[in-house]
A and B are shown apart, each in its own frame.
Chain A
Amino acid sequence: MRYSRASLPFFSLLILVFTPLPSARASATSIPHGTVDLIAESQWIAPGNQTYIGLNFQLEKGWHIYWVNPGDSGQPPRVEWHIPAGLSAGELEWPAPRRLGTSTIVDFGYDNAVMLLVALRASSTFPANQAAQIGAELKVLVCREICIPGKAKVSLTLPIKSMPPEPDVRTSELFTAARESLPRHVPATWEFHVSSSKDSFLLTAKSGQRVTQATFFPLEESQVENSAPQKIVPMATGFQLTLRKSDQLLKPIKRLKGVLELAGNQTYLIDVVVGDTQVAK
């Protein structure tokens, strides 16, 4: 032990003074092999307005959690909100996932770090000049070779003021990054078509240029065989992608929804009627 006892309080003080301690991030709670905290994009929320909050997961190297469609195994995080009447939390907004797993068992999820965004709305009659306690009870499955179920309670205190919310500079980078990781809407000029044959779906995309790399992540379970290779045929104005049907798919489906990943980590949310040509929404 090289530090004298007297120096320890000194170091503690240094940490206090020089480490920015954003109050919004002070509530990081342990989950198996990681932490989660609940953070807000704005310094306060205004009646009749909305702001974003985020479940910010940090995972130890090698561990992962799951996308809304976990793939062949696993389970997505589940949240139960505890918020005052007059506030409402929207659906979780899921960043584009990564393909995880082995050759025969393929999962969809996130490693290292991920933030799930949630819109928080305040009714116009919500009384201002107070603070709202936003709580979330989480169940999360954290996996590497093995899976460990975890539970966590996180919370955040958000002032209510009757003026437009100001961004919280302490969290703005995280929110910017989280938004960039969300799949985007497809440009209005792109067209998609899905046809169905006995064993596969053929996704045809017209994006105006040749595409040589594409991966589809199905939003719904049991439609596409997760571990099957997705064969791409580049075309002058787009591409065709063959998606093997899941063995669990015994009835025809009306729509194919999911995330399409193109080169350079560009991700898009697509929702295409099966058997019809249409302009993407």
Chain B
Amino acid sequence: MKRLITFSALFVLAGLAAPRLILAAKVGQPALDFTGTGSNNQTYHLSDFHGKFVVLEWHNNGCPYTQKHYTSGNMQKLQKQWTAQGVVWFTIISSAPGKQGYIDANGENSYMAKMGAAPTAALLDPTGAIGHLYDAKTTPQMIIINPQGIIIYDGAIDNRPTDDVRDIAGATNYVNLALGQALAGKPVETAATRPYGCSVKYKGSWF
């Protein structure tokens, strides 16, 4: 009986949240504009990057799945490889204060220096506004926006949903695949996948 009550409570909560879900961004639809503050103290508007490819990477440095791609250097490599080709890369931290992965500007700057991270900027999103706008569910989760402002990829970083560094070699990297195809003027074959990892530690989340 206890199980039923708990379950019903969840169901009610899910019902309340429905309207927000419908507004969230989707593959094939225009990317919704946002304003974010970088750990470098600069303000970024997504709309300022119209005409460029933009990658959004959801990040939580305490999450084992994020750590998989940073301790291996995989994420930094992607950041360097694609920003060198003119792609704009935002690392987005939607962890709320007190939650795993929450970090202030100084903390994030030292983390990025230590890890050799090279995004265009790391955006601090402690209210979860950007995360909810894009319905980001996990860290890492990757979204790619084309120069026309359309979302062309939303999902996992690769096809091995584990926290094991050894799974990076030989994995199909969906970000490379999508950006490679899109920059060559081809349609993105795999445009939506299930993102894997830790849940985004939003404000008010209790798990």
Interface residues of A (CB under 8 A from B): 64, 72-75, 98-107, 139, 141, 143-149, 215, 221-222, 225, 227-229, 246-250, 263, 265
- The answer to whether B7 and A148 have CB atoms under 8 Å apart is no
- The answer to whether B4 and A265 have CB atoms under 8 Å apart is yes
In the bound assembly, the distance between CA atoms of A149 and B166 in angstroms comes to 15
User: Could you tell me how many residues of chain B have their Cβ less than 8 Å away from some Cβ of chain A?
Assistant: 46
- The answer to whether B200 and A149 have CB atoms under 8 Å apart is no
Choose among A72, A103, A221, A250 the residue that contacts B13 (Cβ–Cβ < 8 A): A103
Contact A144 to B207, CB < 8 A, known contacts A73-B138, A73-B198, A225-B21: yes
Choose among A104, A139, A148, A249 the residue that contacts B132 (Cβ–Cβ < 8 A): A104
Centre residue among B6, B10, B16, B135 by max chain A CB count within 10 A? B10
- The answer to whether A222 and B7 have CB atoms under 8 Å apart is no
**Cβ contacts under 8 Å, A263 to chain B:** 4
- The answer to whether A146 and B62 have CB atoms under 8 Å apart is yes
Sample of 19 further A-B pairs with CB below 8 A, known A72-B199, A104-B132, A148-B64: A72-B137, A73-B137, A99-B10, A100-B10, A101-B10, A102-B207, A104-B17, A104-B137, A104-B202, A105-B205, A141-B163, A146-B198, A147-B64, A222-B193, A227-B17, A228-B14, A229-B11, A248-B155, A250-B27
- The answer to whether A149 and B163 have CB atoms under 8 Å apart is yes
Q: 7 nearest interchain CB pairs?
A: A103-B17, A73-B199, A248-B192, A229-B15, A103-B13, A105-B199, A72-B137
**Cβ contacts under 8 Å, A250 to chain B:** 27, 191-192
Contact A106 to B14, CB < 8 A, known contacts A247-B27, A250-B27: yes
In the bound assembly, the distance between CA atoms of A250 and B153 in angstroms comes to 12
In the bound assembly, the distance between CA atoms of A39 and B113 in angstroms comes to 49
Residue of B nearest to A101 (CB): B207
- The answer to whether B154 and A145 have CB atoms under 8 Å apart is no
Contact A102 to B199, CB < 8 A, known contacts A72-B137, A222-B193, A229-B18: yes
Can you report 13 residue pairs joining A to B where beta carbons are below 8 Å apart? A72-B137, A73-B199, A98-B7, A100-B10, A101-B10, A104-B202, A141-B163, A146-B62, A146-B63, A146-B201, A147-B64, A148-B64, A265-B4
* CB of B162 within 8 Å of the partner chain: yes
- The answer to whether B26 and A146 have CB atoms under 8 Å apart is no
